[in-house]
Amino acid sequence: MVRYFYKAKVGPTDIRQGVVDASDRQNAALKITQLGYIPLDINEDNIELSTTEGSKLPQLFRPSRVSFKDLSIFLRKLNDLVDAEIPLLRSLQLIESQTKNVFFRAILQQMRLAVQDGDSLSKALSTRLDIFPAYLASMVKAGEATGHLKSVLGRLCHLIEKQEESIIRVKTSLVYPALILSIGLLTVFILMIFVIPRMAAMFVDLGQELPALTNIFLNTSHFISVFWWLPLISLVVLFLGIRKMRNTVHGKILLDQIVLMVPFIGEFLKNLELARFARTMGILLENGVEIISAIGCVQGVVSNEVIRAEIEKISKAVSQGSSLTMAFRSSSMFSSTVTSMIGVGEESGHIEKGFLKWAELYERESDRTVKIATTLLEPVLILFIGGFVGLMVMAMLLPIFRMNLSVN
């Protein structure tokens, strides 16, 4: 099967783009016609039509992934349309026509055709686990079985939006410190490359012995001026090395262990991962998904391999007959407060409430960590950069002061 990108006419004025899988161009045209469209242009996967009529983009520039924002918008639209009593198939058609990401639009088209052929929404979602998380398909399946698809979609929207809020909150918190660091590094670079070499020429003309601090900065400036490419190559090699390590199981585990040990950052990422895990577990259990199945689905939510390994141990212990409380208590990853919440929920028969309270606890902790870190980071960066620039200025002024003293 070959993937074909097409441009087709729908009605007198509407032009639509999409993707079909077919054995050849003729079969692709037949499939497009069966959709009720009039084919205008059909191209193989090596090119794609852009939103500008007649223009073509190479495959390198074609969207090839679905962002978290795309997924959030899709779920919100689907929830709103289903809540408005619009049939599922029609809802998928509307969302497909409004999706700008061509790659994601092709996925939605496949889903719509699967539903049109009689598949359930959960089955259509489960066929693309590379795009949609496993817990999403499980929750939709539970909602279909119980007849509460509307409420399930609403909770999924809340869950995805919570995760998106966490990501946005972290990004916005780091904007100002990143700006300070960028300006500071640029200032130091300009001083090292342009200012200090001119000062060095003046000191050579003086013909006197320079202070040790001045020599350190002059030698550093000379090294950067001559070997400026060395730090760039080192950064590229470091980046490629880390990227290669993340593609191996042992390398990813090692990097995740290192990240968890970093002050503030490690604690924050741990709280963020566990909050996401707990909230997803709570919502899954709240919608009738069994505990073992829920843990299996939620493992995909956790990106840190160290935390995921602990969750896999818990899943294995529960599947072997252990209670959920004992399984969590046997792991050093979870605090006694968390295990107490799980225990209370298990005893009361409302285990989902224990997970949701746990999620709220870790979300508060992650928020507090971000506030503390950003509050401390800004003055630390300012003091560090200001102190370094001040030390540099002092190193340049010391020979002048010494010369004045010797003249007097």
Distance between CA atoms of residues 379 and 403, nearest Å: 36
3-state helix vs strand vs coil in the chain, percent to 5: 75, 10, 20
1, containing H or E segment: none
**Residue listed under structure tokens 């399946």:** 141
**Structure-token match 């924002």, residue found:** 69
In terms of DSSP H, where are the helices of 227-350?
229-246, 249-261, 265-286, 291-298, 305-319, 324-329, 336-348
C-alpha pair distances (Å), 141 with each of 137, 162, 212 = 6, 22, 72
- Work out whether strand 2-10 and strand 47-49 pair parallel, antiparallel, or are unpaired: unpaired
Single pTM value for the model = 0.63
Q: Where are the domains of the chain?
A: 2-60, 68-132, 266-365
Q: What confidence score (pLDDT) does residue 36 get?
A: 73
Q: Which residues pair with 155 in a beta bridge?
A: none
What is the rounded distance in angstroms from the CA atom of residue 130 to the CA atom of residue 139? 17
| Sequence-separated (6 or more) residues with CB below 8 Å from residue 371 | none
- DSSP state, 209? P
What pLDDT, on a 0 to 100 scale, did the predictor assign at position 233? 92
pLDDT tens over the chain, length 408 residues: 666 777 777 766 667 666 677 777 777 777 777 777 777 777 775 433 333 333 333 333 344 467 778 888 898 899 888 888 888 888 898 998 888 888 888 888 888 888 888 888 988 888 887 788 777 887 788 778 777 788 888 888 887 887 777 778 777 877 888 888 888 888 888 888 888 888 877 777 766 778 888 888 888 888 888 887 888 899 899 999 888 888 888 888 898 889 888 877 888 888 888 888 888 888 878 877 788 888 877 776 787 888 888 888 888 888 888 888 888 888 888 888 888 888 888 888 788 888 888 888 888 888 887 788 778 888 888 899 889 888 988 888 888 777 776 655
Structure tokens at 215: 């020599």
Look at residue 237 in the predicted model and tell me its pLDDT: 93
Is domain 266-365 given the CATH code 1.20.81.30 in the classification?
yes
Q: What does residue 377 show for φ and ψ, rounded to 5 degrees?
A: -65, -40
Is 328 in contact with 342 (CB distance < 8 Å)?
A: yes
